[in-house]
Structure 1
Amino acid sequence: MIFYQASKLSFSITILFLIFQPNSFNAEINKCHGSCKTSNFSISLPYPFGFSAGCPIQLNCTDAGVTIGKFVVLNITSADIVIKLPAKCDREVASISVLFGENYALSSATSLLLQNCSKPLSGPCEIRPMFIEASLKLNSCASRSDNMSCFNGVAGEKLLSFDEINNSQCRFLFSATTIVARNSSVSLDLERVNLGWWHKGECNCDQNANCTKVMKGNSTVMGYRCSCKEGYEGDGFKEGGGCRRVPRCNFHHYMYGKCGGRGSERVVVPVAIGGVCLGFGLLFLIHKQYQFLVHKRLKKKFFESNGGLLLQQQISSDQGNIGKTKIFTLKELETATDHFNENRVLGKGGQGTVFQGKLVDRRIVAVKRSKLVDKDKIKEFVNEIVILSQIDHRNVVKLVGCCLETQVPLLVYEFVPNGTLFQYLHNQNSDQFPLTWEMRVRIASEAAGAISYLHSVASILIYHRDIKSTNILLDDKYRAKVSDFGTSKTIAIDQSHVTTLVYGTMGYLDPEYFQTSQFTEKSDVYSFGVVLAELLTGKSPVSLERSGEDRSLATYFVVSMEQDQLFDIIDVRLLDNCCSSEIIAVAGVAKKCLSLNGKDRPTMKEVAMELEKVQQLRKNMNAQHNSEEEIEYFGELDLLEISPI
């Protein structure tokens, strides 16, 4: 009875509290809770994402993970929500309506793979549906593979519309592909959907954040996103956590309480602790000596496991130029690169990071630290070093040496100072030093000659497998240097192709290789054709600004030529200083290189010869022009009358 009375009193107090505290109660309901904890995982999301009704972008917290409807969220970035869209043969198109909300919609980087369409859609798929089905092991869909289409949205739109998808007159949604930018390269991910997201309303960001308006079309503002400025971290929204300065704490600040916790109160260290510190100092020295011995043994272990003994044997045999290859110690390269300082980074890519270094003989070099290497392929790696050492061509980056005392071997190349061809064609400041037509033809001719050398003249035939404008470097005189042989394959003289896992960069990848996994010399030719198209148009190999199949520069270029619209897509920076006949000649070579059937493509030797002809024609024209100017000048002298004094 007493318990009942107490409970009744407690209930009455609770009711009174709710009556007299309505604002506090409503504030709690409207608060955004970003934490999700289940038996399988625990996660905390930044504002405006969360799991309560008070969150602008409300997601679901389930045992399967964070979801939107039944679709699992793989990742959330500063601009996208990445969704898993598993391939399924008979999924209704309407099932993805849940991915179009007030604060998010499908990004134009995503192409939906639709089936049983009663009318043609905006464009074909970037890759063949049968290959997708084979990759995803869904043979049950094979009977409908020819009836698969890609929905790419409207050209220029950054967001897709569900009404347009629903009105496509397609019955089933099989899966999706999404173009993903990674550093300087672009890849195509299967079973992935990107949703662009935004916060509704006008910009309401922290004072230390930047505001980005999200547009649909040219006029409709969907909302905004906040991002903290450099030196700050957080979600950037005033309603969320805002931005806070990134802490820069050092030992001095910590000892004087300036890193939080105890304010500015000084930490007093008694003199009596000095003896203890001395003891710890001795232990520290012993520990350092032990670390030195362990480190020394580890370096020796890495050297041997990385094939150092095999490489030394190759060098001592003095085969070709291999004797010129130096095996560096780790200490030498740490000194050269200031311990691999981030300030020395020249570039990062799929194969690893490249640092600028300065050797003791004052030579400037590029040190490449690759990603983890399969230990079963160490012998192959050593062979690659031997092969690269034997390449002797003025337009191929020279291998100076290597270091085998690390878990992942380091390669040391000659330093090429003027960056990549990609930078001069596509970066925002490329107009400050535009490449003239004469320079572009020369660079193309030099690069073609180098690849032709690898294919047919070098002591061992080599397929590069990743020809692109970022792998064509420019030296101090803007001469081409083909680089990055991390994925190259050596070929026997009587071998026509090599079967490998598909590797390459989207936009440059040979469609035939993508479908068959058989890489031939003509696959390098296709990639070089894309580089020629870049040189002619100044456009990127893949662009989201173009719709459908035109996203690929290769397709866009070939279609423009077939429609007699070549000069509509030529880089405007070239029109004032080049000859139309030369442009047509180079464009003809590029078109042949981009043939879908490898047998219809020329060899790199034929490509190099054609480009050399164009270059020689230009030299002859310049010589003729200079000769005509001289004749005109001396002719004017003959006509002058010398008056008597």
Structure 2
Amino acid sequence: MREKSMELKLLILFLLLVAAMEAAISEAKSLKGCLKKCGEVEIPYPFGVGDNCSLEKPFNLTCDTSTSTLFYGKNPVSSISVQHGLMDVLFEVSKICGNQSEEKHPRLLDAGHYFTISTSENMFVSVGCNILGRICSHHEGQSTNFGGCLAICDQLPKNNNTCAGTGCCHGEIPPQGKPSTYDFQATRAFSNYKVSNGNNCSYAFVAKNGWFSFSPHHLLNFPFEVTPVVLDWTVSNVSCQNGSSPYCACKNNTYHVDYYSNAGHRYKCKCKPGFEGNPYYLDGCQDVDECTRPNNCSMPKRCHNLEGGYHCSCPPAHKGDGKANGSGCTLDYGFIALSCSASLLIVFILVYTSCWTYKQRTLKQVRRRNFEQNGGNMLQQQISQQQAYSGKTKLFTEAELKNATNNFHKDTILGHGGQGIVYKGILSDKTPIAIKKPRQGGDPQQIKDFINEVCVLSQINHRNVVKLLGCCLETEVPLLVYEFVNNGTLLDHIDPLKNDGSIMWETRLRIAAEIAGAIAYLHSYASIPIIHRDIKSANILLDHNLRAKVSDFGSSRLIPLDATHVTTIVQGTLGYLDPEYLHIGELNEKSDVYSFGVVLVELLTGRKAIKFSRPEQRNLAMYFVSSMKENHLWEILDKRVLEQKNAKQLKEVASLARRCLRVKGEERPTMREVAMDLEGLISMGKHTWGKDKGIVAEESEYLLGHVPEGYDDASSSIIVSVTSYDGIQSQSSPEIIGGR
């Protein structure tokens, strides 16, 4: 009988050990150098065998190497779960028979502070026909909670495998209010109760839920002496260092479950969702790759592992949560439509980019072609031959000038003329500029004039000559960029049809001296002598201080130092053109002297060089000379400048103008002489004129004969208006070949 009982014990132990194999290997982590297994039972931390192998002393276990059995106290251990805080052990069965000497009343456990019978994982069972099974908990020697059940039968039940009171009963484990121990026993329910043909023994025990299945044969021969029992175990903050977290036993990626009792603060450590392993071990719990295990994704290949979880996705052109128990993945027609739209947009962008690239390449080619057609190569050749030019004039891009003029907007136009338009612009550095844009391009003569003007102006550095800032050759017609002179032309200020106001004589004389000085500089002081060839009042610009600036050098010519003249096609403006140059075609410095003489006459008379409305006065120069011969100077002088104190100056300037207008060039003075005479008149007027009124009156009488009645010698006010720039007028004068 004893041998059979031992075989049953070993069988039960084997079954329990096999069940323990199902525990996760990742939970069975022991400290380094400690026993990992005893027989087939894993020993996970916080448990351990030996010194310094467990979290605390209550978790110390022993291993019987002879039988390869792990013991908790005197109870064999079959499995340990660190994730659920459970441990399976074996306990003896309480037995009572007719012979009272065989009665057993085992004490289940000294639960202490760490271990207790699991009331949810176990059940209390009594087997017999006259048994009252009782279980109670004890605390400090006193019983606190009771439980049990009653099983009776008159005779052995047949074909009744239910444990419902006939031969077998079961009940719940009473709850544990305080740290205590459990004991249970099988007792007689009735003293004189006898069962026919039955076993005279009864049994009471605690067993793991689902382990025991009643059979009527158990009343004749009960085969078990031990049963598996599930223990709850917890840890406490006793193991924590002072000042550390009260949950120091819980490591990385874990959380805690609190258990409070009179014994103090108790808790269990568990792995967070999505993690697995030993929550008490040094490195804590590790992430679970759910995508390598059965999961809830409707498409396994669309599973994405995350820290502590996973994510299900849908393939392109589908929508949904990707979960098998959710919306799954369905075709997304909106996405398809959006994808098609995006594809069309990409195609459009590619086509647009290709077109834009082609356009930019074409524009670059056009700019290069324009550069060549506008004489860029010729200009570069001229630059290479003129070292003084290098670095003085800038080549502007078309984009710069478009930005400066708001794409050549009509509101930026300063003036119109027969050959083009002048625009006002503002560069990015806030510098005001004037841009000369010809009306037509492609004419070789115009291109030659353009290159000529750039080369000529590059040689000039004079305050009374308009400054060339640069040019642009990328446009269809070449553009010249000048400094901006903001007060119109001399013609605008002396023509009574354009200006009701008047420039005082002193200012007119100063302007004449400034023009003469600039032309004299061109003739005598420039590195290479320059003949302007188109001196006229429309080509004299005035700034805000009425300072003169000579402009429009398109017709100018550079004269070699060893040459006295240049033979060219006659070019100039009718009324200002040198008759000798017109007759023989030889251009020299005296041609500019004649043209300047006409400007002097305009300053004296306030009349235009050519006027077709009066046939007898059509040519101002000829009319002026004939009037001087006939002593009718007074009749043609501008009444706005007539004052007695101006008499001598008027006489001297008129005489100088007459000398400049002589038909033969050799009889005319040079521009240096003209400039010196005008400067002398200005200086003399400042120091002596006007001091001797008798002399002034005498000279005035000689020159003028008389002063008209009602003449007001007060100077008129100056009214300034900008109507043109750089020789371009709204109504151009008649021109000789290429003239202005």
* TM-score of the two chains, using structure 1 as the length reference: 0.50
| Structure-to-structure mapping, 1:356-435, within 5 angstroms | 356-370=424-438, 371-375=440-444, 381-382=450-451, 384-432=453-501, 434-435=502-503
Deviations 1:455-513 (A, max 9, x none): 11100111111100010001121111000001111111122222222221111111112
Is residue 2:635 matched to residue 1:568?
A: yes
What SS does structure 1 have at the residue aligned with 2:387?
A: coil
Pairwise CA distance, 1:411: 1.0
Q: Cα offset for 1:383? A: 5.7
Distance (whole Å) between structure 1 residues aligned to residue 554 and residue 653 of structure 2:
29
Map 1:6-85; keep pairs closer than 5 Å.
none
Q: 2:536 corresponds to which residue?
A: 468
| Partner in structure 2 of residue 601 of structure 1 | 668
Q: CA deviation at 1:310?
A: 6.6
CA distance in 1, matches of 2:611, 2:456: 36
Q: Residues 108-257 of structure 1: matches in 2 within 5 Å? A: none
1:456 to 514, 524, 527: 524
SS at the partner of 2:415?
A: strand
Cα 1:616–1:457 shift into 2, 3 Å:
same
Q: CA deviation at 1:592?
A: 0.7
User: How far is 1:345 from its partner?
Assistant: 1.8
AA matched with 1:509: L
Structure 1 pair 614–505 and aligned structure 2 pair: CA distance change class (3 A) = same
Identity of aligned pairs, percent? 52
Q: CA, structure 1 residues 389+597, in 2 after alignment: closer, same or farther (shift >3 Å)? A: same
Partner SS state of residue 618, structure 1: helix
The aligned residue for residue 553 of structure 1 is: 620
- Matched residue, 1:114: none
Opposite residue 529 of structure 2, the aligned amino acid is L
Q: Which residue of 2 aligns with 1:355?
A: 423
CA distance 1:596–1:311, change in 2 (3 Å): closer
For 1:610, the equivalent position in structure 2 comes to 677
Deviation at residue 280 of structure 1 after TM alignment = 9.1
Counterpart of 1:325 (choices 386, 389, 393) is 393
Q: CA deviation at 1:301?
A: 2.7
Residues 317 and 525 from structure 1, CA distance in 2 versus in 1: closer, same or farther, beyond 3 angstroms?
A: closer
Cα-to-partner distance string for 1:563-603 (whole Å, 9 max, x where unaligned): 11111111011113742110000000100111111121111
How far residue 430 of structure 1 moved from its aligned partner, in angstroms, is 1.5
SS in 1 for 2:654: helix
How many angstroms does 1:545 deviate by? Answer: 3.3
Q: CA deviation at 1:453?
A: 0.6
Between Structure 1 and Structure 2, the one with more helix by share is 1
Question: How far apart, in 1, do the equivalents of 2:385 and 2:533 lie?
Answer: 30
Quote the Cα distance in structure 2 between the aligned partners of 1:478 and 1:342.
27
Q: Is the Cα contact below 8 Å between 1:448 and 1:607 reproduced in 2?
A: yes
The question of whether the paired residues in 1 share the 8 Å contact of 2:522 and 2:529 is answered with yes
Q: In the superposition, relative to structure 1, how do residues 466 and 429 fare at CA in structure 2: closer, same or farther (>3 Å)?
A: closer
Q: How far, CA to CA, are the matches of 1:431 and 1:612 in structure 2?
A: 28
> The residue matched to 2:391 in structure 1 has which SS?
helix
C-alpha RMSD of the superposition:
3.0
Superposed displacement of residue 322, structure 1: 3.4
The 2-side partners of 1:407 and 1:283 are apart by 28
Shift of 1:423: 0.2
Are residue 438 (structure 1) and residue 511 (structure 2) matched? Answer: no
Larger Rg: 2
Match of 1:503 among 568, 571, 576: 571
Residues 431-451 of structure 1: CA deviation (Å, up to 9, x unaligned): 23x100000000000000000
Retained in 1: the 8 A contact 2:425–2:432? yes
Secondary structure of 2:499's partner? helix
| Offset at residue 619 of structure 1 (A) | 1.5
Query: 1:313 deviation in Å?
Result: 7.7
In the TM superposition, what is the alpha-carbon distance from 1:560 to its structure 2 partner?
Answer: 0.8
Cα deviations by residue, 1:371-392 (Å, 9 ceiling, x for unpaired): 4254588678546423312201
For the residues of structure 1 that align with 2:362 and 2:677, how far apart are their CA atoms? 58
Please say if residues 315 and 323 of structure 1, whose CA atoms lie closer than 8 Å, have aligned partners that are also in contact.
no
**Does the 8 Å CA contact 1:322/1:390 hold for their aligned counterparts?**
no
CA contact (8 A) 2:412 2:424 kept: yes
Counterpart of 1:303? 371
How far off is 1:409 after superposition? 1.8
Deviation digits for residues 221-270 of structure 1 (CA, Å, limit 9, x no counterpart): xxxxxxxxxxxxxxxxxxxxxxxxxxxxxxxxxxxxxxxxxxxxxxxxxx
How far does residue 350 in structure 1 lie from its aligned partner after superposition? Answer: 3.9
Alpha carbons 2:373, 2:442 under 8 Å: kept? no
Amino acid of the residue matched to residue 294 of structure 1? Answer: T
Q: Contact 1:500 / 1:518 at 8 angstroms: preserved in 2?
A: yes
Distance 1:590 1:499, change over 3 A: same
| Contact 2:645/2:689 (8 A) holds in 1 | no
Amino acid at match of 1:475: D
Please point out which of 641, 651, 657 is paired with 1:584. 651
TM-score relative to the length of structure 2: 0.44
Matched residues in 2 for 1:497 and 1:523: separation? Answer: 10
Q: Which amino acid aligns with 2:475?
A: T
State the match for 2:600 in structure 1.
532
Alpha-carbon distance in 1 for matches of 2:511, 2:570 = 28
CA 1:496 to 1:351, structure 2 compared with 1: closer, same or farther past 3 Å? farther
Matched residue, 2:722:
none
Is the CA contact (8 Å cut-off) linking 1:522 and 1:598 kept in structure 2? yes
**Aligned mates of 1:318, 1:490 — CA distance in 2:** 12
Q: How many residues align?
A: 350
Shift in alpha-carbon separation, 1:515–1:332, aligned structure 2, 3 A: same
Distance 2:365 2:500 in 1: 52
Q: Secondary structure at the match of 2:433?
A: strand
Query: How far, CA to CA, are the matches of 2:603 and 2:512 in structure 1?
Result: 8
Question: Which residues of structure 2 form unaligned runs of 5+?
Answer: 1-340, 693-740
Q: Structure 1 residues 588 and 318 mapped into 2: Cα distance closer, same or farther (>3 Å)?
A: closer
Summarize deviations over 1:64-84 as a string: whole Å, max 9, x none. Answer: xxxxxxxxxxxxxxxxxxxxx
Question: Which structure 1 segments of 5+ residues have no match?
Answer: 1-273, 626-645
Using the alignment, how far apart are the partners of 1:451 and 1:381 within structure 2? Answer: 20
Q: Distance in 2 between matches of 1:423 and 1:376?
A: 29
Instruction: Measure, in 1, the Cα distance between the counterparts of 2:434 and 2:645.
Output: 35
State whether residues 456 and 557 of structure 2, in contact with CA within 8 Å, keep that contact through their aligned partners in structure 1: no
- Give a deviation string over 1:19-54, Cα, whole Å, max 9, x none: xxxxxxxxxxxxxxxxxxxxxxxxxxxxxxxxxxxx
